[in-house]
Chains A and B, each alone.
Chain A
């Protein structure tokens, strides 16, 4: 029935009220685009209030429309929670030979709202809106106010395009759009060399990942003949193809087997893109540097939304991933490795934002671990809770930095708990949430991931390692987060005297978003509360239609329900690890602040290894960056000497030589001929001209001679005449 209504709304001009938000899905990305365009064209002349109205207002409208659309969808039965809107056919290159036979390849410009994009769109618009509000306060004293908000709105547009895209190609457009905005915003203070470099680094590293993504995209379209994710949610699906449907048909016809190499290739190529965007090993190196951007940017782009695009994309393509156990293992192993690797680096960082950046890398690794063990819903769940508490942590950090007039070094903080209470209390909550303290969101989402990883051990022993790594990472997370908390808010104040006098609480526009995020950092995990008594998580149940994948005879990942006792033991173990981390942090940084310096002095090489981030940047420089530079230098020399030297200069020399020959020919042959023709009559007329002396006496002589000749000639007549006279 709802399909009919959609059809009616799309086909006719009439809009039935209950579907208003669904039929106006396209407005959600459009609002921020209008905001960005307004900033681009008129921003310079706008007052700050006008900029706020446009840019924050546009995101708020997006949030309202997203909320409306999601609620509309939510009232439907779970299998019908799909709504797809094709605005127009965007790419229509026509017939294309594929593994599925000759098909008419089409890429729409269309939007898809299903449970997965519901979660994403709410998180992005809501957290995005709060961060926009926060930025009003944070950026108040910065130059380029309108530029900042314009970029931010452009980012929102790109991110919403990415999330709401109904096909992989359009997702890629959003994917690149957010990459561009990330570049622009990291380099927002572009006069600072480190910021400009960090922007370039992020952009280039992402390009490496995107190479894989594009190849994966091509492989997907060449195999399935379509890039549309699904035909579900279309008012009339006949005549349309979707990846999930084509895959289902192919599997049913046994065209490909479970675990076929082509699925592994697709999944891994797309995953290369995800490692770039979501900062996983080996392409995570750009994210810590990205902290050069303004703090709201770090919160929005490099913590809550953009970096989770890789997780979203893998979840979106889960139908393919589920068919390739190899790719799943790779995802899980990369995720787990990144999680623990980044967590150890976070332990020794001294820049408040760098700690959080490595923490983000680590938590993203957690999400990929979840995806890799087949718990797609848990990965997305952690994505959501992480968006809240990590955005809160970054915004809190920004508020601390703002209070300390730009100080980012935690060694120059301390004792700020009661000086800036409106910042420190939400920060406390976020720290508890990320550390996995029971009752808060991070506990639930992390516990679900660990639970699912543990579940897989029953099937395959090698998952034991992943589970253990996950547990240790949970402990490390608690440790470094409480280290940060204690260093910043507790102990003796190490703030320089000249800064101490200016410490001030941040304005309301900054602290109110903190409290709202703190609220969600607590409650967003409660969606998984029924798991405690052994029921299926409502969140997973909600997402299930999007992540169902394709029915296969073999290899389907099934999670056994473990009993209440196992569940409690699992939770207990993660709580124990988290508690251990917190206790150690307390011991090292609060009870005896000298202890950690003694420990690092005891293992100087380990400490230096961590401080230098395992020398990964240096290794990359030596292996790749400098080799590329060498290649560029060589190519530059080749260009200067061979292309310019032999080619361009040679052509110039040749042209000059030819023109000289040409000049000689023109001067001596062509002109010579003309001159000769002029000279010839002059030469021939020489004897005749001699008569014309210009002196009339000469002429008189000639006249006389002529007369004499005349008379001589007629002398006979003269004689006759003279004779006759007598």
Chain B
């Protein structure tokens, strides 16, 4: 059996890639995709610990998160389309209406 450290390392790598994607990319579609990466990092983490401790609850959580991610992607894309219709842009740095 593979030690848990590898899984955690993969999870951490995915998290960082996702985080960097969220922070650095201007296109909100890409940002949404990066958020999916972060969620998947969490899923891997949950499944790995579920396997490690022999407790199925982690895998159940992972399933919830997948469902949640789908819903979140749907809402996020809906917002994007509504936003695009108003402002004709999907660039994150132009979305600054809630500025001070």
Distance in Å: Cβ of B95 to nearest Cβ of chain A: 7
Distance in Å: Cβ of B20 to nearest Cβ of chain A: 9
A694 CA to B97 CA in the complex, in Å? 6
User: Which residues of chain A are within 8 angstroms of B54 by Cβ–Cβ distance?
Assistant: none
| Contact A695/B92 with A700-B23, A701-B23, A704-B19 known, Cβ cut-off 8 Å | yes
Interface of B is mostly: helix
Asked whether any CB of chain B lies closer than 8 Å to the CB of A45, the reply is: no
Asked whether any CB of chain A lies closer than 8 Å to the CB of B96, the reply is: yes
A155 CA to B99 CA in the complex, in Å? 93
Asked whether any CB of chain A lies closer than 8 Å to the CB of B1, the reply is: no
**Chain A, 669-726, CB within 8 A of any chain B CB:** 689-690, 692-697, 700-701, 704, 725-726
Contact A694 B22 (CB under 8 A): no
Contact B19 A725 (CB under 8 A): no
Contact A694 B23 (CB under 8 A): no
> In the complex, what residue of chain A is closest to B52 when comparing beta carbons?
A725
Contact B96 A700 (CB under 8 A): no
User: Which residues of chain A are within 8 angstroms of B88 by Cβ–Cβ distance?
Assistant: none
> In the complex, what residue of chain B is closest to A691 when comparing beta carbons?
B100
User: Which residues of chain B are within 8 angstroms of A726 by Cβ–Cβ distance?
Assistant: 3
User: Which residues of chain A are within 8 angstroms of B22 by Cβ–Cβ distance?
Assistant: 697, 700
Distance in Å: Cβ of A319 to nearest Cβ of chain B: 107
Contact with A along B17-59 (1 / 0, CB 8 A): 0010011100000010000000000000000000010000000
Contact with B along A362-400 (1 / 0, CB 8 A): 000000000000000000000000000000000000000
Which of B23, B97, B99 is A697 in contact with, Cβ under 8 Å?
B23
Contact B96 A725 (CB under 8 A): no
| Contact A695/B95 with A690-B100, A725-B5 known, Cβ cut-off 8 Å | yes
Distance in Å: Cβ of A466 to nearest Cβ of chain B: 115
Distance in Å: Cβ of A139 to nearest Cβ of chain B: 93
A693 CA to B52 CA in the complex, in Å? 42
Contact B92 A697 (CB under 8 A): yes
B residues contacting the other copy or chain, number (CB 8 A): 17
Asked whether any CB of chain A lies closer than 8 Å to the CB of B4, the reply is: yes
User: Which residues of chain B are within 8 angstroms of A690 by Cβ–Cβ distance?
Assistant: 100
A700 CA to B22 CA in the complex, in Å? 7
User: Which residues of chain A are within 8 angstroms of B52 by Cβ–Cβ distance?
Assistant: 725
Contact B5 A689 (CB under 8 A): no
Contact B98 A694 (CB under 8 A): yes
Contact A697 B93 (CB under 8 A): yes
Contact A693 B5 (CB under 8 A): no
A725 CA to B24 CA in the complex, in Å? 34
Contact B5 A697 (CB under 8 A): no
Contact A695 B93 (CB under 8 A): yes
Contact B100 A695 (CB under 8 A): no
| Contact A704/B23 with A689-B100, A692-B99, A692-B100 known, Cβ cut-off 8 Å | yes
> In the complex, what residue of chain A is closest to B24 when comparing beta carbons?
A697
Contact A725 B4 (CB under 8 A): yes
A268 CA to B76 CA in the complex, in Å? 117
User: Which residues of chain B are within 8 angstroms of A725 by Cβ–Cβ distance?
Assistant: 4-5, 52
A697 CA to B20 CA in the complex, in Å? 10
* Closest 8 A/B residue pairs (Cβ): A694-B99, A694-B96, A689-B100, A692-B100, A694-B98, A700-B22, A695-B96, A700-B23
* Chain B contact residues, CB within 8 Å of chain A: 3-5, 19, 22-24, 31, 52, 92-93, 95-100
20 sample A-B contacts, Cβ–Cβ < 8 Å, listed by A number: A689-B100, A692-B98, A692-B99, A692-B100, A693-B100, A694-B95, A694-B100, A695-B95, A695-B96, A696-B92, A697-B24, A697-B31, A697-B92, A697-B93, A700-B19, A700-B23, A701-B23, A704-B23, A725-B4, A726-B3
Extra A-B contacts (11), CB below 8 Å, given A697-B24, A725-B5: A692-B98, A694-B97, A694-B98, A694-B99, A695-B93, A695-B95, A697-B22, A697-B92, A701-B23, A704-B19, A725-B4
